[in-house]
Chains A and B, each alone.
Chain A
């Protein structure tokens, strides 16, 4: 979870013009298409990854995840009321990329007004409105996950609705 302290580090580092690095250093674990000669499909094949269980989520507390691979940080949010793209019993669980689609800085969640904010150049996105950019520099709204919840409450991501920053194919 991105706590207040991390947000402060982010603010210092980015607003004060610190160095930048690729997010996430973990090994890539992608269950992408198998390596065999075949006709390429028209769209990328998204992995179906388990991100969390409904029971892991608390209203208005962001849970850090990554999708479609560990180099693509994101967030799961339970918002407490039905929202666009929301899944789960209350239709209130959504997932978004947290790399800003402007220049790739990390977004931080503001629980007070439920927005994702970018310390890079002040963009902000509304997870209660499908990731619509409330105001900002990005030329696209925030990539949102296609989510599915199974009978055990497991939350799976199965797709993304916009190109992720920093990759020319959503699945690498």
Chain B
């Protein structure tokens, strides 16, 4: 049975309902929504004066109406301890989404914990400590005391290397400036923890080192640039699924030609046409399909290159564009470094950086060579070069925006590949200009505010590998689930289970002991190779199953939270409901931990060290915001000012406050000065990174040894919201198991029918998925859904990273065997093509 809610009507929002600003916290796009709340015993009516929309709701409303909400946009939640109705619906006035909701964001309400409706009962409500062989609820004081006492035993002033920390660095979700500041202040200011990592990668590092080293921050444009551009050159991204409303509300109008009048008005004196599109992706995605539908096939070029060969393609495009003279010579002369090599290749720089000519020499790649490496035709590469850079009729510079994401971030040779793409943007003068930008599209929103991480070093410690090697004594985890989303996950889980079980057993053996005796027992187990694991999260995660202390956090909407989206648009999500039980904002949990550490250290007579943990007397998340973001960014932004800016917020950096409005910056680098690398001359650098095959250790051998490429990534329905959606009936109904897209002929070879369960296995591990036939897949190339709770794709990703510890997920090869006929849970599924077909 396809899942149906059997809901035939919904309570009507009354005219006097409370209305809160909400930015969807699931993905990078950050769509505007409003949360309406009103007392449980009240309801609006169908007459215009009785409802929030002022329209007659006894009539059918038309398409795109503001006056409708789906059952998924409704819930009953607690607000100030009382049950209230809640509707969270898209905001038509927000420039990001103009009223569009997505399959993820438009389920925000349904994904709130509701004790009345029974949703999200998986949310953690109380601190828990491992006792008597299970997790027992306890107070914050008790839980934090245990964490502080064990932690204090393994750290000392100037020696905090045995404390390992996994901490999210993102905005949205339960991230945001408040919370990254709280943890950042604790671990990077009070302490100098260097053995740490970020939520989605095994080290504490940038995912885009090269663009920053070249002087260019990765979020340098605004979404409107898709409406102003001549060409979108999209790489390793599937925006219809993973930046949905950016695609629908900005890219589609740009390629459909809806924005021609806007182009004429804002960019007069040059020829304008609907934007053309180049998509670089080994896989044909629904993004390619949708672009073809709106632009016409003739205006979309899909370069389905061999997996991992992007660098060869970009270098050939760079060479060809330079040879044709289609570069912006004036821009290169004025804004980029001129004299050979500025930064030689070394341990921290996997390629040299320098002038345009230096890069041209180092990156030289003919169309023929690239065609052979990439598996696409010379003519198509030349065509892409023309679409990117051939001057327009009349001689004007062609505008091109270059969005990229995990296809190259988590792909072969991250540093050089991203550098080569930025080369294209620099050479063609497409950074800081309307219709330009070389930008990462993003996953979560951003919300990073922390003291310097310079002490971590570069290359940063490979934390997962250190743990596997027996490193670390205490592990603090802030909303990371290595078990679902790390690489080399098979081995990681084996070792992590063993080391944390040693501590569990030691705790079990001392049941009933005093705190002091218990801490002694834990420390003895740690010294014997065990690991004490503290897990801060909103739900009980898979790695959380190994935790000894679990601390419940709240997320967006249950606290006030600020973040910025992929065009640096900062908004305040107003708290509209209570968090579950005694769950707290991460920033206040970090503060509580700091205070517990101070107390314990003082008790132990370590006063000087204890003093380092002062300065956390925050009563609310707003205090953390003022201590972090406000104090460190010119003291301009406050909650009140941000609230007044509504769902359109302000684009960072915020440079002023005038006439009651925060003043931001539409595009970075509009003045042609580049400073992300910290160079005083403010000149951008080109990347001199030649093609060097599959760079990460073990990849070439894996490719030679196994039959199928196991490409991997996300889907529209399973994306940055999955932590909640594993408990959502609508989502679980569609994909009870992660899908493996595979060509029907490959399925026939393997004796597979749609929905059969398969094992995917290779030299490093094995995992399980559900076969989904896809006619447009290439033979021998599969695509597996990443991050599923019921099939960890990371089990078959080897440990190989680039020089700066960036994981390489996309280049993975494995064999596949059937393990089961389609189980009953998938019998009702549709296995039709995901591509839109008018027929």
Contacts from A to B (Cβ < 8 Å): 4, 7, 11, 15-17, 20-24, 43-44, 46, 69, 71-72, 84, 99, 101-105, 108-115, 117-124, 126, 128-141, 143-144, 160-163, 165-172
Q: Nearest Cβ distance between residue B495 and chain A, in whole angstroms?
A: 39
Residue B603 lies at the interface, judged by CB distance under 8 Å to chain A: no
Contact A117 B9, beta carbon cutoff 8 Å: no
Q: Given the complex of chains A and B, what is the CA–CA distance between A108 and B838 in angstroms? A: 7
Contact B240 A17, beta carbon cutoff 8 Å: no
Contact B839 A108, beta carbon cutoff 8 Å: yes
Closest B residue to A20 using CB positions: B63
- How many interface residues does chain B have, given as a range? 35 or more
Q: Choose among B58, B730, B832, B838 the residue that contacts A7 (Cβ–Cβ < 8 A).
A: B838
Contact A167 B61, beta carbon cutoff 8 Å: yes
Contact A163 B71, beta carbon cutoff 8 Å: yes
Q: Nearest Cβ distance between residue A30 and chain B, in whole angstroms?
A: 11
Contact A112 B839, beta carbon cutoff 8 Å: yes
Q: Nearest Cβ distance between residue A120 and chain B, in whole angstroms?
A: 7
Pick the 10 closest A-B CB pairs, nearest first.
Answer: A110-B839, A130-B2, A104-B63, A126-B830, A169-B9, A139-B72, A71-B60, A135-B834, A22-B62, A132-B2
Q: Nearest Cβ distance between residue B384 and chain A, in whole angstroms?
A: 25
Contact A170 B1, beta carbon cutoff 8 Å: no
Contact A110 B62, beta carbon cutoff 8 Å: no
Q: Given the complex of chains A and B, what is the CA–CA distance between A123 and B716 in angstroms? A: 11
Q: Given the complex of chains A and B, what is the CA–CA distance between A51 and B734 in angstroms? A: 30
Q: Given the complex of chains A and B, what is the CA–CA distance between A112 and B836 in angstroms? A: 12
Q: Given the complex of chains A and B, what is the CA–CA distance between A165 and B286 in angstroms? A: 25
Closest A residue to B244 using CB positions: A137
Q: Nearest Cβ distance between residue B829 and chain A, in whole angstroms?
A: 7
Contact A134 B70, beta carbon cutoff 8 Å: no
Q: Give every chain A residue within 8 A of B102 (Cβ-Cβ).
A: 137
Q: Nearest Cβ distance between residue A71 and chain B, in whole angstroms?
A: 4
Contact B70 A139, beta carbon cutoff 8 Å: yes
Binary per-residue interface labels of chain B (50-73) against chain A in the complex, 1 for a CB within 8 Å, 0 otherwise: 000000011111111100111111
B-side binding surface: helix, strand, loop or mixed? Answer: loop
Q: Given the complex of chains A and B, what is the CA–CA distance between A24 and B4 in angstroms? A: 26
Q: Given the complex of chains A and B, what is the CA–CA distance between A166 and B293 in angstroms? A: 26
Q: Give every chain B residue within 8 A of A101 (Cβ-Cβ).
A: 70
Contact A132 B9, beta carbon cutoff 8 Å: no
Contact B61 A166, beta carbon cutoff 8 Å: yes
Binary per-residue interface labels of chain B (269-310) against chain A in the complex, 1 for a CB within 8 Å, 0 otherwise: 000000000000000001001100110000000000000000
Contacts from B to A (Cβ < 8 Å): 1-10, 12, 57-65, 68-73, 100-103, 106-107, 110, 240, 244, 248, 253, 256, 258, 286, 289-290, 293-294, 716, 730, 733-734, 828-830, 832-839
Q: Give every chain A residue within 8 A of B10 (Cβ-Cβ).
A: 163, 168-169
Closest B residue to A114 using CB positions: B832
Q: Given the complex of chains A and B, what is the CA–CA distance between A44 and B10 in angstroms? A: 11
Q: Give every chain B residue within 8 A of A43 (Cβ-Cβ).
A: 8-9
Q: Given the complex of chains A and B, what is the CA–CA distance between A133 and B72 in angstroms? A: 15
Q: Given the complex of chains A and B, what is the CA–CA distance between A120 and B244 in angstroms? A: 13
Q: Give every chain A residue within 8 A of B836 (Cβ-Cβ).
A: 117-118, 122-124, 135
A21-B62, A117-B838, A163-B70 given; 19 more Cβ-contact pairs under 8 Å: A15-B293, A17-B256, A20-B64, A23-B63, A24-B60, A44-B8, A104-B62, A104-B63, A130-B1, A130-B828, A132-B734, A132-B828, A135-B286, A144-B2, A144-B4, A160-B8, A162-B7, A163-B5, A166-B61
Q: Give every chain B residue within 8 A of A109 (Cβ-Cβ).
A: 839
Assuming the A-B contacts A111-B839, A124-B837, A134-B832, are A168 and B60 also in contact, with contact meaning beta carbons closer than 8 angstroms in the complex? Answer: no
Q: Choose among B107, B258, B832, B838 the residue that contacts A119 (Cβ–Cβ < 8 A).
A: B838
Contact B256 A16, beta carbon cutoff 8 Å: yes
Assuming the A-B contacts A16-B256, A124-B832, A169-B8, are A139 and B106 also in contact, with contact meaning beta carbons closer than 8 angstroms in the complex? Answer: yes
Q: Given the complex of chains A and B, what is the CA–CA distance between A123 and B106 in angstroms? A: 15
Contact A140 B5, beta carbon cutoff 8 Å: yes
Q: Give every chain A residue within 8 A of B57 (Cβ-Cβ).
A: 167-168
Assuming the A-B contacts A20-B62, A168-B12, are A162 and B71 also in contact, with contact meaning beta carbons closer than 8 angstroms in the complex? Answer: yes
Q: Give every chain B residue within 8 A of A23 (Cβ-Cβ).
A: 60, 62-63
Q: Given the complex of chains A and B, what is the CA–CA distance between A11 and B836 in angstroms? A: 12
Q: Choose among B61, B294, B830 the residue that contacts A134 (Cβ–Cβ < 8 A).
A: B830
Q: Nearest Cβ distance between residue A22 and chain B, in whole angstroms?
A: 4
